[in-house]
């Protein structure tokens, strides 16, 4: 009895020692904050509040060339004449410059009015597409001669062929199938009556 109690106590002490929570080593702790490199050394920069588009110029008429995700910084280079767009450093853009809408980013290191005003690039011109009838005037002859509108032509009438009997062959009436069915039915009834009378004898 004493041996079992002693062995139970030893097992209990071993389990407490083996399964005791171990304090985490300071070397194994992960940093709680990720460090971000600043976009430039001491210069002003913008930080995206949410996902925002980058364009080749200050306006939605310009081509879309990239995006800034929420929290992503970019060096601020200047502002549009109205101050509604900010030019930023963006390596994937032509001349490494792109434009972002000012209300969707947070400007750090300066204020919007202190950024230098940058002359925006020319707006992209759309290719002219020829339109039908652009050079036509009312009553003027059309180039290449008159055009005719197709008219509706009804199809020829449909003639259903009829087959005539061959010459010299007379049509004769065939044996009607209903008569055959009635005859077989009567024969069956007669056979049924005959077997019925045979059984009664």
What are 87-107's pLDDT values in tens digits?
999 987 888 899 999 999 999
Q: Is residue 106 part of a domain?
A: yes
Q: Is 53 helix (H, G, I), strand (E, B) or coil?
A: strand
DSSP code for 117: B
Edge-to-edge strands of the sheet including 45-48?
A: 64-68, 52-55, 97-101, 85-89, 73-79, 45-48, 105-108
Q: Is residue 143 part of a domain?
A: no
When divided into structural domains, the chain yields a total of 1
Q: Is residue 77 part of a domain?
A: yes
Q: Is residue 81 part of a domain?
A: yes
Residue 77 — pLDDT band, cuts 50, 70, 90?
very high
Taken in order 7, 13, 17, 21, is the CA torsion positive or negative?
A: positive
pLDDT cut 90: percent of the chain above it: 30
Token pair of 9, please? 């106590």
- The CA dihedral of 6, 8, 14, 18, to the nearest 10 degrees, is -170
Q: Is residue 164 part of a domain?
A: no
Angstrom CA distances, 46 to 90, 103, 104, stand at 12, 11, 10
Token pair of 40, please? 């430039």
Q: Is residue 137 part of a domain?
A: no
For residue 24, pLDDT over 60 is answered with no
Q: What is the CATH number of the domain that holds 70?
A: 2.30.30.40
Q: Is residue 1 part of a domain?
A: no
Q: What is the mean pLDDT of residues 175-193?
A: 89
Of 124, 51, 44, 123, the residue nearest 88 (C-alpha): 44
Q: Is residue 88 part of a domain?
A: yes
Residue 35 — pLDDT band, cuts 50, 70, 90?
very low
How far is residue 162's CA from residue 36's CA, in Å, rounded to a whole number?
A: 94
What are 110-164's pLDDT values in tens digits?
888 889 999 888 877 665 666 655 555 555 555 666 666 777 788 888 777 776 6
How far is residue 196's CA from residue 201's CA, in Å, rounded to a whole number?
A: 9
For 184, other C-beta atoms within 10 Å of its C-beta total 10
- Domain extent, residue 87, equals 45-114
CB 90 within 8 A of CB 96: yes
CB 44 within 8 A of CB 108: yes
């Amino acid at each position: 009895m004493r041996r079992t109690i002693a062995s139970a106590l030893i097992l209990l002490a071993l389990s407490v020692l083996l399964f005791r929570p171990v304090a985490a080593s300071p070397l194994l702790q992960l940093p709680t904050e990720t460090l971000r490199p600043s976009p430039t050394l001491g210069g002003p920069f913008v930080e995206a509040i949410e996902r925002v588009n980058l364009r080749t110029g200050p306006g939605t008429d310009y081509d879309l060339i990239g995006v800034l995700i929420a929290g992503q910084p970019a060096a601020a280079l200047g502002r549009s004449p109205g101050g509604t767009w900010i030019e930023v450093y963006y390596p994937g853009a032509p001349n490494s410059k792109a434009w972002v809408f000012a209300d969707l980013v947070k400007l750090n290191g300066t204020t919007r009015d202190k950024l230098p005003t940058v002359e925006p690039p020319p707006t992209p011109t759309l290719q002219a597409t020829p339109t039908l009838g652009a050079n036509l005037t009312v009553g003027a002859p059309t180039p290449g001669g008159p055009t005719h509108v197709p008219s509706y032509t009804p199809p020829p009438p449909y003639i259903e062929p009829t087959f005539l009997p061959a010459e010299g062959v007379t049509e004769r009436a065939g044996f009607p199938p209903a008569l055959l069915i009635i005859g077989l039915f009567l024969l069956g009834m007669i056979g049924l009556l005959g077997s019925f009378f045979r059984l009664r004898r």
